Chain A
Amino acid sequence: AQSVTQPDIHITVSEGASLELRCNYSYGATPYLFWYVQSPGQGLQLLLKYFSGDTLVQGIKGFEAEFKRSQSSFNLRKPSVHWSDAAEYFCAVGSRNAGNNRKLIWGLGTSLAVNP
C-alpha cells in the first residue's frame, strides 16, 4: 500500500541548532515529493519539491531536502533553526502519472518546537 511515514510526531530543538525531519514513503515507483509547512492558524505552504534531477533540493526559508531512492526517504534539513521555524511540517508524495491518480498521499506531520 502507498504510504508516507513521518516517524517523529514532535521534535524540540534549540534556536541555532541543526534540524532534520524524517520522511519515508512506500510507493510503486519514484513519486514526486513535497515538504509543506503549516504555521499556527495558517494554511500549508510549499517549502520545496523534488521532481527529478539533483537529489538535493533547496527550498524557501533556508530548508533543503535530500531524496534517497535506496532508502525511500526524503528528509528535510536546516543548518540553523530560527524561532520562527516553529510549525507543523508535512511530507507528501504524488504519482508521476497524475492522469490516473490525482491524490497526494500525506504524512501525519511533525510538530517542531524551538527553544530560545
Chain B
Amino acid sequence: NAGVTQTPKFQVLKTGQSMTLQCAQDMNHNSMYWYRQDPGMGLRLIYYSASEGTTDKGEVPNGYNVSRLNKREFSLRLESAAPSQTSVYFCASTPGPSNQPQHFGDGTRLSIL
C-alpha cells in the first residue's frame, strides 16, 4: 500500500516563484491535512479538508492556497514564495474526523532563497 504520497520530495525555489505541492492518498480517506514543520515549532496546521469539496484554514494559512481536487488528492500552492516559507511540508489523511489516527506522507523539503 502506498498510503499518502507527496511530490516532490525536495524543491528549491527563488523568492517570488510559485509552486504546487501534490498529495495523494489511496486509502479512501475523507479528510486530508497540510502541515508545516519547523525546528522548535512542532507541527502547525496550514489547511485541512474535512471532505471532498470543502477546505478550511488552519493555524498558519497566510501565503498558501489549497485545492481538494477529488477524494484522493489535496494540493498546496504557494503563489509567491517567501524565505519564511522554507520548511518541511507534510500531508496527512484520516478516514473521518481529525481525532482519528492520521496517516502521514514522507514530506516535501522546500527551500526558498
Contacts and interface: CB of A to CB of B under 8 A. Distances in A.
A11 to B, nearest CB: 16
A46 interface: yes
A38 to B, nearest CB: 8
B4 interface: yes
Given A90-B42, A106-B42, A107-B42, A43 B4 contact: yes
A102 B106 CA distance: 22
Contacts of A106: 42-43
Interface string A83-116: 0000000100011101101111011110000000
Contact of B104 (A34, A43, A99, A107): A43
**Chain B, interface residues (CB within 8 Å), range:** 20 to 34
Could you tell me the dominant secondary structure of chain B's interface residues?
loop
A65 to B, nearest CB: 14
Contacts of A98: 96-100
Contacts of B41: 108
B56 interface: yes
A42 B106 contact: yes
Nearest to B106: A43
Interface residues of A, number: 24
A103 B102 CA distance: 11
B34 interface: no
A56 interface: no
B42 A108 contact: yes
B31 A45 contact: no
Given A90-B43, A96-B99, 8 more contacts: A41-B107, A43-B92, A43-B107, A44-B102, A103-B45, A104-B45, A106-B43, A108-B42
16 contacts: A31-B99, A41-B106, A43-B90, A43-B92, A43-B104, A44-B43, A44-B102, A90-B42, A98-B98, A101-B98, A102-B50, A102-B56, A102-B97, A103-B58, A106-B42, A106-B43
